[in-house]
Structure 1
Amino acid sequence: MSHKTLLRTGPLVPGGVGPYGPVGPPGEGGLALPPHFTGRVVARSGAKVAGLTWHAAPDGGACFPDGSGWIYVSNSELPLLGGASAVRFRADGGIADAYRILSGTDLNRAGGATPWNTWLSCELGHRGRVFECDPYGARAARPRLAMGRFKHEAAACDPERGVIYMTEDEPDGCFYRFRPGDWGDLTEGTLEVLSSSGRWRPVPSPAALLKEARHQVEDARHFDRGHGCHYAGGVCYFTTRGDGGLWAYDAETATLERLGEGVRAITAAPSGDLYAAGTGTRIDLITPDRAVTPFLRLQGHDGAELTGLAFSPRGDRLYFSARRGRTEGLTFEVSGPFRA
């Protein structure tokens, strides 16, 4: 079943037991999972991971292929010291290395992966920037100023249309897309904003000092604190932190639908299932027929926010972080028989 089925078959329906069975008792780190799934803590803020001190306030994340292994990248939402770090995994899941890929930036909250295997780390601060980072640690990160200067949250690439969607964490934030002049090169391009009519309109001055991007287009549509963003199967899913909304923008038909409530972070599995984290310490599974069932719970972490949901390239491991404030943070890995 495809992601299109999810978009067009009616409202989300809360269910009982999910396709993997009931969630069991908590294990390592308070992680409660269905049968045949296992979990572990791979990183802890302030503790060493393969010689690297793992950052505080872990937030947005993504996975990248690395030969027979893979890499998980995580942002840090610290002021002035944010940046991003990476953990390199061997084929058997062992940790081979850990290193910084971005340093000295401000409030790096979310971001997104590109099809050419770079990481877009987004600054949340006033006039925040998007930095394109090398998850393999070989090249220095570069700011992509044509993508606008605003409170960036997340980014999601749409290779079919050659655009990158972006959310903005403001009470009257906008939903943007960036059209690079050359797909794969984000140095130059056109920043556009979704209007109330459903059309995309160019932002005249994406990096203007005096008039913020969200106020430059008169009929721009506004959202209450844009948050997570993920593109899959012709649909860009994004969330609004202010009102807990889950939205779906169908890029082929240029239509927008509000799917449900109470979601902050979201990712997709190869099966077409969505995995969504809300205001509590649990992750729900949303199947292509729009059934919503619990997938995991995290006990003993009251008040934590779950962030950085991402699947490994093979789709057999799910990563996420649990953060409380700007000091505590745990990064988890869940392994098991995820549907293909």
Structure 2
Amino acid sequence: MTFSRRKFFAVAGATAAGTLAISPLEGLLAKKAFGQIGTGYGPLLPDPNGLLDLPEGFQYRILARTNDIMADGNPVPGAHDGMAAFEGPGNTTILICNHELSNNSATQVIVPNRYDPICRGGTTTLVIGPNRKLIKQFASLGGTIRNCAGGPTPWGSWISCEEDVSVPGSGRTQFHGYNFEVPASATEPVTPVPLIAMGRFNHEAVAVDPKTGYVYETEDRGDSLFYRFIPNVPGKLAEGGRLQALRIIGRNGVNTTTGFTVGQKWDVDWVDILNPNPTSDTVRVEGRSLGAARFNRGEGIWYDGKGAFYFVATSGGPVNGGQVWRYIPGEEKIDLFVESQSRNELDMPDNLVVAPFGDLILCEDGSGEQFLRGVTPQGELYNFARNALNTSELCGACFSPNGLTMFVNIQTPGIIFAIWGPWKSRR
């Protein structure tokens, strides 16, 4: 899809007073409601290197590729996925990157202190200079499986999530399906500690409420739940806590894939998960028996810095093209913020980030061409980047602490980009 053929999709309005549903057939309504329709950052320009198409004025630098040799002497593993950036010493940026590697993957994260000897997933940490050039990269977590996404914490660490619920056997020595914490300050591989109380399930991503220390968690399954973890000691997740699942009041056990109107707010409460660490994959089954709401493949989640959390249901909506939900903990309400009405307008968003300038940036993981899609607070969809190399997903979008650089991956063959340009020029 070229930018000139961009479309609009259903999205909640930016104010609590009213909402609008915008579809490809309602451009005139959108123009009347929002004024002159903008064009994001303009059309995407073909990349002469055939890697990443961007708008005029934006540029990128490749930071690392699969099989580059890292500072620890080992090759960069593949299957890049979720990431987050942290402020480092000496005006550096610390970037922690997941590697969604299975036990039969061609590459692996090599560390001496593996969680499970046979397992190939984990994280690498990159130290990036103020000139956006790589200073060093090293493995920081190993012996896990399918580290898909995760999330940054306010206390300066990355929570890496296993999207796998394997049990001991066939060479595996550990149970899987846990979260692991990697401090941004780590200069060598961390000792892997499973955060058992946060639940054993197909984890995807997390986001932390800086006001309470509560951690919100998504689950990548067709019948997934939306969870929160209340730690016994905020900021010390390994010390245990309580796991809960979200319930929509008056809609016990509802499947949210269809039947919800964009912008309509629903009151919610939470049900306690009494067995967060079962030997079989039954956390969501217990939650559903208590009336928890079902979401169609919960994936990316991000805190907007203003009191709301946005999270993706990758296969939600009438065409299974994706939804973005918004949860507001201060009000204990949830609403459907974005819903794809056509795979041409939005094709299965996965990771997401709330940009410093207020837009959502959605990483697509559908079929065919893969885009980074922007969503303005006024409800406009625009293309920000296109994978010009292949049809592998774009993933891990995040911003540097100063908001000037976006980092993103092409998952296969595994390339990490730094992107910068006139962020304030969105029209």
Please name the residue that 2:330 is paired with. 252
Q: Secondary structure at the match of 1:182?
A: coil
Q: Post-superposition shift, 1:210?
A: 4.8
**Amino acid in the other structure paired with 1:61:** M
Please name the residue that 2:243 is paired with. 191
User: Which residue among 53, 70, 82 is the counterpart of 2:75?
Assistant: 53
Give the distance between the partners of 1:316 and 1:121, measured in 2 at CA.
24
Q: Is residue 2:421 matched to residue 1:336?
A: yes
Please name the residue that 1:88 is paired with. 127
| Greater Cα radius of gyration, structure 1 or 2 | 2
Deviations 1:198-218 (A, max 9, x none): 211111111122571111132
**Amino acid in the other structure paired with 2:79:** A
Q: Secondary structure at the match of 1:53?
A: coil
Please name the residue that 1:129 is paired with. 178
**Amino acid in the other structure paired with 2:42:** G
Gap change, CA 1:268 and 1:339, over 3 Å in 2: farther
Please name the residue that 2:293 is paired with. 221
Q: Post-superposition shift, 1:292?
A: 1.1
**Amino acid in the other structure paired with 2:83:** G
Give the distance between the partners of 1:289 and 1:211, measured in 2 at CA.
40
Comparing 181-190 and 261-270, the one that deviates more: 261-270
Q: Secondary structure at the match of 1:242?
A: coil
Give the distance between the partners of 1:53 and 1:110, measured in 2 at CA.
21
Q: Which runs of 4+ in 1 moved over 4 A?
A: 12-17, 49-52
Please name the residue that 2:308 is paired with. 235
**Amino acid in the other structure paired with 1:196:** I
Cα RMSD for the two superposed structures: 2.1
**Amino acid in the other structure paired with 1:249:** Y
TM-score, with structure 2 as normaliser: 0.73
**Amino acid in the other structure paired with 1:209:** T
Give the distance between the partners of 1:247 and 1:27, measured in 2 at CA.
37
TM-score, with structure 1 as normaliser: 0.91
Please name the residue that 2:210 is paired with. 159
Q: Secondary structure at the match of 2:221?
A: coil
CA contact (8 A) 1:163 1:178 kept: yes
Gap change, CA 1:312 and 1:12, over 3 Å in 2: farther
Q: Post-superposition shift, 1:313?
A: 0.6
Gap change, CA 1:93 and 1:211, over 3 Å in 2: closer
Deviations 1:252-287 (A, max 9, x none): 222222222232221011111111122241111111
Q: Secondary structure at the match of 2:248?
A: coil
Q: Post-superposition shift, 1:31?
A: 1.2
Q: Secondary structure at the match of 1:339?
A: helix
Give the distance between the partners of 1:322 and 1:72, measured in 2 at CA.
16
Please name the residue that 1:283 is paired with. 372
User: Which structure has greater strand proportion?
Assistant: 1
Q: Post-superposition shift, 1:143?
A: 1.7
Q: Secondary structure at the match of 2:197?
A: helix
User: Which residue among 305, 310, 330 is the counterpart of 2:393?
Assistant: 305
**Amino acid in the other structure paired with 2:125:** A
Give the distance between the partners of 1:123 and 1:6, measured in 2 at CA.
34
Q: Post-superposition shift, 1:100?
A: 1.0
Unaligned runs of 5+ in 1: none
Give the distance between the partners of 1:112 and 1:82, measured in 2 at CA.
17
Report the count of equivalent residues. Answer: 333
Q: Secondary structure at the match of 1:320?
A: strand
Please name the residue that 1:71 is paired with. 94
Q: Is residue 2:44 matched to residue 1:23?
A: yes
Give the distance between the partners of 1:136 and 1:48, measured in 2 at CA.
21
Gap change, CA 1:11 and 1:99, over 3 Å in 2: farther
Give the distance between the partners of 1:17 and 1:23, measured in 2 at CA.
15
